[in-house]
């Protein structure tokens, strides 16, 4: 089975559509690691598109915020405004779909979580120390996470030594049995200074992973965000990949 691994679409339908086109014919099933909505202008379109595909989807912190399951006082004011707008805009059918999403999932050699296996909704794995602390919190060889919007592979070399490898886009990597925490990056709001949409392909049986990047029409998303009077900082960050 070939898996399209995506995360953090963040209501950016243009980026999502572009990823689906770029990966066309290369996958059988979608794994989505959460944050389908929040920040972007197209929450319903993104949820509805994903629901049409054979998929497994987890809940992320922004999905929970849209469901009023989180205290959003910890969000910055721009993110809070986006949450309010998303709540008002989501159809009740799509809200119910978000409500039913699981927080973690284990399938074959893979544990899936939005943020981290230790704290599936909240924790940011941004460096090797946090990655290292998370290895005891899952049982399978590999764990897939999103949340930071930065593609990376953390590999446990020894109990005390974890390495971080930046992606080699378009190059297949055979997962060698060593324990790894892998982030495919963000479809709809990359934060690694590369504005291109990020995603990955996985051969589930052969354990072959491939990080990929594809440019999309950022300005058309920004136009919709301006039309809905979304915060300017959220609009500007898309073209910077920040």
Q: How far is the CB of 197 from Zn ion (least distance, A)?
A: 14
Which positions ≥6 away from 15 have C-beta within 8 Å? Answer: 9, 187, 188, 197, 216, 221
Q: How far is the CB of 60 from Zn ion (least distance, A)?
A: 6
Residue 35 as a binder of Zn ion (CB under 5 A): the answer is: yes
With CB under 5 A as the contact rule, the residue among 8, 42, 155, 210 that binds Zn ion is 8
Q: How far is the CB of 205 from Zn ion (least distance, A)?
A: 29
Residue 42 as a binder of Zn ion (CB under 5 A): the answer is: no
For the segment 186-215, give every residue that binds Zn ion (CB under 5 A).
Answer: none
Which positions ≥6 away from 210 have C-beta within 8 Å? Answer: 170, 171, 172, 173, 200, 201, 202
- Beta bridge pairs of residue 222: none
* CB closest to Zn ion, residue no: 35
Residues 225, 188 contacting (CB under 8 angstroms):
no
> Looking at 6-14, 69-77, 161-169, 173-181, which segment touches Zn ion (CB under 5 A)?
6-14
Residues 149, 156 contacting (CB under 8 angstroms):
no
Q: Is the CB of 81 or the CB of 173 nearer to Zn ion?
A: 81
Output the six-digit token pair for 66.
Answer: 């849209």
Residue 155 as a binder of Zn ion (CB under 5 A): the answer is: no
Rule CB under 5 A: which residues touch Zn ion?
Answer: 8, 35
């Amino acid at each position: 089975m070939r898996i399209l691994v995506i995360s953090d679409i963040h209501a950016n339908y243009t980026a999502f559509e572009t990823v689906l086109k770029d990966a066309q014919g290369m996958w059988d099933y979608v794994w989505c690691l959460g944050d389908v909505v929040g920040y972007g202008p197209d929450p319903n379109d993104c949820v509805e598109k994903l629901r049409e595909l054979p998929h497994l989807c987890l809940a992320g912190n922004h999905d929970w915020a849209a469901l009023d399951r989180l205290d959003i006082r910890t969000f910055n004011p721009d993110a809070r405004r986006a949450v309010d707008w998303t709540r008002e805009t989501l159809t009740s059918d799509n809200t119910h779909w978000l409500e039913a999403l699981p927080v973690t999932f284990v399938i074959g050699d893979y544990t899936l979580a939005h943020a981290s296996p230790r704290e599936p909704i909240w924790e940011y794995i941004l460096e090797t120390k946090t990655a290292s602390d998370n290895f005891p919190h899952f049982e399978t060889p590999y764990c897939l996470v999103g949340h930071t919007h930065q593609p990376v592979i953390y590999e446990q070399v020894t109990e005390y030594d974890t390495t971080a490898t930046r992606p080699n886009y378009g190059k297949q990597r055979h997962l060698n049995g060593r324990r790894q925490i892998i982030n495919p990056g963000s479809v709809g709001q990359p934060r690694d200074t590369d504005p291109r949409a990020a995603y990955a392909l996985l051969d589930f049986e052969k354990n072959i992973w491939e990080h990929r990047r594809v440019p999309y029409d950022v300005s058309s998303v920004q136009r919709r965000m301006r039309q809905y009077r979304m915060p300017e900082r959220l609009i500007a960050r898309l073209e910077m990949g920040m």
